[in-house]
Amino acid sequence: MHLMRTGLMGSSILAALACAATVSVAQPVPVITPRAGLVITQSVKVRPGVYRLRASASPDSALLTVRGDDLTVDLRGVTFIGSPIDSAPDAGQGTAIRIDGGSRVRVRGLTARGYRVGILARGTRALTLDGNDLSYGWKPRLFSTVAHESLNDWLSYHKNEQDEWLRFGAGIYLSRVTGGTLRGNTVCQGMNGVLLTRTDSLDIRDNDVSYNSGLGIGMYRSSWNTIVNNRADYNVRGYSHGFFARGQDSAALLMFEQCTHNIVAYNSMTHGGDGLFLWAGQETMDTGKGGSNNNLFLMNDFSFAPTNGMEATFSRNQFIGNRVEGNTHGLWGGYSYESAIIGNCFVNNRIGIAIEHGQQNTVGANWFVGDTLGIRVWADSIEPSDWGYPRHRDTRSRAWRFVDNRFTRVPERTRLANTTDIDSVRSVVDDTASHACDPARLVPTTTWWRLPAIANAPARWPAAAHAQRDRSAIVVDEWGPYDWRSPKLWPLDSASAPAVRLRVLGPAGRWRVQSRRGVAMLSATAGRTGDTITVTPAADARHDWAVTLEYRGAATVSPRGVRTAAGVPQPVRYAHFAPTATWTQRVYAWSDSTDPVRAPAAFAALLAGPPLTTRMAPRLDWFWSRSRDAQIPTRRMALEATATLALPPGPYTLRTLSDDAVRVWVDDRLVIDQWTPHETMPGYAPLAGGTHHVRVQYVQGEGWTELRLDVLRGRVRPSLGSAGPH
């Protein structure tokens, strides 16, 4: 018996030893110090610290390159700085981290500033990006001012078959990525938050991609993704409250070209150029096939867009339980078909729902409150001749179902034109309702509709600071949307007005006037955040004045991410500089025989002859789609303008914005030569103080007219890289 027990015990020990021999001992994860050009092929921990590492301008030459499978790059406590924090936002370049292929790759905890792309992944499967802060990246200078829009700022996304979107920059750029998670990442104060190209099956959740000058999330040929519980507020350009509301194709969420079967739910997507901008794509426009179809937009907040809360065209989708308040259009759905628009709150829009050439759409259980017009449905008698779509598809406005919609304080409930086969039942007019319109109460549980279930969904969209304010909270300066985290002086009027009102914006605090220059009178010299100061420039300084305040109050974060503790005084300055001049502007009409490019001698002879008309103006500033002056042609127009500029000592920059062609001479020396026809683009030339004779030649061919000449104080270099439609 004893021997048996001993034998059994020995056998057990041997078996245990044999089993232990087959178990690999976990190796410690190596800790590395980053350097430019490093390639990572295994799991690593990057040594915490701040690393000032400038990247090559090429996106294919990242600081760190990750290759391999089943690896984690732990960057918690690590900050990469690609360009000095005090440099202009368009100085950033290159890529911080590039992930080449691989599967089950995780990058976590990185903070990166001053790069064109924070994290770039291509061809990766099961990618996880979590807890990365890629804010304050590259973004271009904008040229639309308080009272003057510029076409240069309009965006175009049509070309992306070869990753052309990389020129836009992004905190996160994914190309041909399949599966994985983006969670808890932050991308603010760049141009774009997250861009997806041919990327599918991602779970995008709990990210903050707000206050960017282009897109919060942009998608191209990307499908089967789930986008839940994110903040994508104030992704906007092209808006100046009280002056113009364009949006210039910025958006909280862009779905462009064959994006299908995506779920977008419980997100805060307010104050974007558009909240949602969905387009079927060029493939559909040419062939009539496909589209950005079968997407679900559930319980999102798409409020306070300068243009459309939701724009979704040439496609079939579901819009369920969304809040859409304070937009030009709540839903613009041209050529939508077989779509469901159910249980949404359309509040205080100019038009709640506007759909041309739609078929077999259901509009049910929506509540329209305070909209000027509730529902507009129509078909135009003539469609664009260069579209393939109407040649391949039925584009009649027909087979509409309107059921259980409610209207409160809506002067015109419906406007239907050139539309057939309408089924309209149980429309309710309730002008006495006082309770808030809540999508959670509207989505019906009747037999004709059920609320779709979303896994791990919150009760409603996340609350976000400033997301519930109206459109007046959108403030866009030359670097994009203001985030309300630092003090700012902002004009409410054109700076050329006799008296200019300046609003003190920012966190709670107090201010006092620190200094003034060229100012005859101020309406107040001390006060609190939120005050409006009226500035009356001195009679001899209307074009060159400045006011500086001292702010003390809450802790702040500057537009480039610099933190200042509460109570620390900060200067807040507003300056206006626009030197006086009298521009003599002579207008001509040109033809094929005097074409400025193909017949330069004949064009020069034209300018030597009598003009159609002569205009005098204090500024060289032309902007229109159609001339309002009968003596100035809308197309095939030329202008020669001359003026004398008298500048105080110091360095200056002469800048033009032109569409289609411009040349500028200073003291008979050609300093800007953009004579090849182009869309709106800037031109720059250095200028010294003193008196100068300036001559400008400008040519307009077709389309919009834009010519602007500014004299800027200091040396202003051209923006590095373009994000416009060129």
Q: pLDDT per residue over 352-382, tens digit each? A: 999 999 999 999 999 999 999 999 999 998 8
Q: Select from 314, 230, 232, 241 the least CA-distant residue to 274.
A: 232
Average pLDDT over residues 647-654: 96
* Mean pLDDT lowest among 284-298, 415-429, 528-542, 638-652: 415-429
Confidence of residue 563 (pLDDT cuts 50, 70, 90): very high
Rounded to whole angstroms, how far apart are CA atoms 447 and 277? 31
Residue the block writes with tokens 């700085």: 81
Question: Phi and psi dihedrals of 465, rounded to 5?
Answer: -60, 135
Query: Token pair for residue 682?
Result: 């800037």
* Structure confidence at residue 242 as a pLDDT band (50, 70, 90): very high
Q: What is the pLDDT of residue 7?
A: 38
Residue 6: the pLDDT is 34
What is the band of 497 on the pLDDT scale with cuts at 50, 70, 90? confident
pLDDT score at 3: 31
User: CA-CA distances (angstroms) from residue 287 to 280, 357, 625?
Assistant: 11, 17, 31
C-alpha triplet 187, 190, 192: angle, nearest 5°: 75
pLDDT of residue 131: 98
- What ranges make up the beta strands (E) of 625-668? 637-659, 661-666
Q: What is the mean pLDDT of residues 39-63?
A: 93
Of residues 545 and 434, more confidence is placed in: 545
CA distances from 263 to 183, 203, 431, 504, 692 (A): 16, 10, 35, 40, 60
Helices (H), 353-445: 389-392, 439-442
CA distances to 8, 75, 172, 207, 250 from 130, in Å: 51, 11, 11, 9, 25
d(CA 184, CA 134): 11
The pLDDT tens digits for 379-429 are 998 888 888 899 999 999 999 999 999 999 999 999 999 999 999 887 777
HEC string of 662-696 equals EEEEECCEEEEEECCCCCCEEEEEEEEEEEEEEEE
pLDDT band with cut points at 50, 70 and 90 for residue 20: very low
Q: Minimum mean pLDDT among 312-321, 441-450, 501-510: which range?
A: 441-450
Q: Kindly tell me if the per-residue pLDDT of 464 is higher than 80.
A: no
Largest distance between two CA atoms of the chain: 127
Which range, of 423-437, 494-508, 634-648, averages the lowest pLDDT?
423-437
Mean pLDDT rounded to a whole number for the chain: 92
Region 503-508: mean pLDDT is 97
In this prediction, residue 699 carries a pLDDT of 97
Q: Is the pLDDT of residue 482 over 90?
A: yes
Residue 668 binned pLDDT confidence (cut-offs 50, 70, 90): very high
Mean per-residue pLDDT, 63-88: 96
Reported residue count of the chain is: 726
Distance CA 504, CA 231 (A): 26
Q: How confident is the model at residue 1 (pLDDT cuts 50, 70, 90)?
A: very low
**Average pLDDT for 275-303:** 96
The string of pLDDT tens digits covering residues 181-237 is 999 999 999 999 999 999 999 999 999 999 999 999 999 999 999 999 999 999 999
**What confidence score (pLDDT) does residue 23 get?**
47
The whole model's pTM is what?
0.93
Q: Which of 27, 36, 41 is nearest to 102 (CA)?
A: 41
Contacts of the segment 601-609: beta carbons below 8 A, 24+ positions apart: 603/638, 606/638, 607/638, 607/640, 607/697
Residues 117-154 have pLDDT tens digits of 999 999 999 999 999 999 999 999 999 999 889 999 99
Asked whether the predicted pLDDT for residue 701 surpasses 80, the reply is: yes
As a whole number, mean pLDDT of residues 266-282 equals 97
